[in-house]
Amino acid sequence: MMEIMQLLLELSSAIKEIKVQLLVLKQTRTEKFKQAWIDGQDVMLALKISKRTLQSLRDTGILPFSRINGKFYYKVADLEKLLESNYSRTLKNDSHD
């Protein structure tokens, strides 16, 4: 009976260690994703905006970018900041009653 208890304790300890390692891996992947760069086409698809709207976001300095050989790249983290800064919890009433 003691052997089984010892094995269960060892198994529990191993599971806790695996859980910690998975959390670290998840955080690492999230940080890497936030530092990832995507091109303009991906930005337009993600935000459901036109090419002209994306250009306006660049021209006004709202969305930082990098340009290489005429192609624009954007940090996913910058897109996330833009969305967060424009986040609103208030609901607008569209009815004109």
**Residue 77 near residue 34, CB atoms below 8 Å:** yes
Q: Which stretch of DSSP H or E encloses residue 91?
A: none
Statement: residue 14 has pLDDT above 80:
yes
Domain extents for the chain? Answer: 1-34, 36-86
Residue 96: pLDDT over 90: no
What is the per-residue pLDDT for 97?
Answer: 55
Three-state SS at 66 = strand
**How high is the pLDDT of residue 44?**
96
Residue matched to tokens 């994703």: 33
Mean predicted lDDT score pLDDT of the chain: 88
Determine the pLDDT at residue 89: 83
pLDDT in tens, 33-69: 667 899 999 999 999 999 999 999 999 999 999 999 9
Q: Report the relative pairing of strands 37-39 and 66-68 from DSSP bridges.
A: unpaired
Phi, psi of 67 (to 5 degrees): -125, 125
Nearest to 81 by CA among 93, 67, 60, 64: 64
